[in-house]
């Protein structure tokens, strides 16, 4: 069964840090680009970051550049999103999904996980 499972969310203080995990089962992440998305309360889902498997290139939405880092552990078939210096506006449900290309539209991403809630608050 092809599945992505996110974990690591929770309550974090502004300026703290949190690491989200996206574990794949039933397939290997080596052949896909992996994206992190988020849906803030009352807003539409947006792309946050993407890992390009062919060469390890990474992409970030401007609002998280310099604060978030996406990485992949091939041995664990897992992708991470390290969130440093989070801000209250980073509060959202975070999802991971895969696609043939990071440049694909959000609709082209599949195997969505169930999401993990991140709340940034003091």
| Residue-level pLDDT at 2 | 83
Could you read off the pLDDT of 4-52 as tens digits, one per residue? 999 999 999 999 999 999 999 999 998 999 999 999 999 999 999 999 9
Asked whether the predicted pLDDT for residue 56 surpasses 90, the reply is yes
Tell whether the torsion through CA atoms of 45, 24, 87 and 59 is positive or negative: negative
């Amino acid at each position: 069964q092809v599945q992505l499972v996110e974990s690591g969310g929770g309550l974090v203080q502004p300026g703290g840090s949190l690491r989200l995990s996206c574990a794949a089962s039933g397939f290997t992440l080596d052949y896909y680009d992996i994206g992190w998305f988020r849906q803030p309360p009352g807003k539409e889902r947006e792309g946050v970051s993407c890992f390009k498997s062919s060469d390890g290139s990474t992409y970030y939405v401007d609002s998280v550049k310099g604060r978030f880092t996406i990485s992949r552990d091939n041995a664990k078939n897992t992708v991470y999103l390290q969130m440093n210096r989070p801000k209250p506006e980073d509060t959202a449900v975070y999802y991971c999904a895969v696609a043939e290309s990071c440049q694909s539209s959000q609709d082209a991403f599949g195997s969505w996980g169930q999401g993990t809630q991140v709340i940034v608050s003091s």
